[in-house]
Chain A
Amino acid sequence: MASTAYDNRLEGLAAPHGGHHPSLQHQFDSLEQQKESSTLGMWMFLITEIMFFGGLFTAYVIYRSTLHGVFAAASHELNVNLGAVNTAVLIGSSLTMALAIRAAQVNRQKLILLFLFLTMLLGSTFLVIKGFEYAEKFEHSLVPGPGFQFMGMTYRGFAPDPEHVSPEVLQVGDKAQIFFSLYFIMTGIHALHMIIGIGVLLWLFILSWKGRFDSTYYNPLECAGLYWHFVDIVWIFLFPLLYLIGAHVH
Chain B
Amino acid sequence: MPEHVASIKMYVGVFLTLMVFTRITVWVAYQDLGAWNDIVMLTIAVTKAVLVILFFMHVKYSTRLTALTAISGFFFLAILICMTLNDYLSRFQLLGPLVPGK
Q: Which residues of A contact B (CB under 8 A)?
A: 31-32, 35-36, 39-40, 43-44, 46-47, 50-51, 54-55, 57-58, 61-62, 65, 80, 84, 87-88, 91-92, 94-95, 97-99, 102, 105-106, 215-216, 222, 225-226, 229-230, 232-233, 236-237, 239-241, 244-245, 247-248
Q: Which residues of B contact A (CB under 8 A)?
A: 1-3, 5-6, 8, 11-12, 14-15, 18-19, 22, 25-26, 29-33, 37-38, 41-42, 44-45, 48-49, 52-53, 55-58, 62-63, 65-66, 69-70, 72-74, 76-77, 80-81, 84-85, 88-89
Chief secondary structure at chain B's binding surface: helix
CB neighbours (8 Å) of B77 from chain A are 50-51, 54, 57
Tell me if B22 and A105 are in contact (CB < 8 A): no
Tell me if B56 and A244 are in contact (CB < 8 A): no
Bound-complex Cα distance A225 to B84 (A) = 32
- With CB as the reference atom, state the residue of chain A lying closest to B5: A105
Bound-complex Cα distance A60 to B6 (A) = 37
Tell me if B57 and A226 are in contact (CB < 8 A): yes
User: With A95-B11, A240-B25 in contact, do A248 and B52 touch (Cβ < 8 Å)?
Assistant: no
**Contact among A102, A226, A237 with B8 in the assembled complex (CB-CB below 8 Å):** A102
User: What distance in Å separates the Cβ of B22 from its nearest Cβ neighbour in chain A?
Assistant: 5
Can you list 21 contacts pairing A with B, beta carbon distance less than 8 Å? A43-B66, A46-B73, A54-B81, A57-B81, A80-B26, A88-B22, A94-B15, A102-B6, A106-B5, A215-B1, A226-B57, A229-B56, A232-B52, A236-B45, A240-B25, A240-B41, A240-B44, A241-B41, A244-B41, A247-B26, A247-B30
CB neighbours (8 Å) of A102 from chain B are 5-6, 8, 11
Bound-complex Cα distance A78 to B15 (A) = 25
Bound-complex Cα distance A88 to B25 (A) = 13
CB neighbours (8 Å) of B69 from chain A are 40, 43-44, 47
**Contact among A54, A61, A216, A233 with B52 in the assembled complex (CB-CB below 8 Å):** A233
Bound-complex Cα distance A87 to B29 (A) = 15
Tell me if B45 and A240 are in contact (CB < 8 A): yes
**Contact among B2, B49, B57 with A237 in the assembled complex (CB-CB below 8 Å):** B49
User: With A58-B80, A87-B22, A244-B26 in contact, do A98 and B88 touch (Cβ < 8 Å)?
Assistant: no
- With CB as the reference atom, state the residue of chain A lying closest to B58: A222
User: What distance in Å separates the Cβ of A90 from its nearest Cβ neighbour in chain B?
Assistant: 10
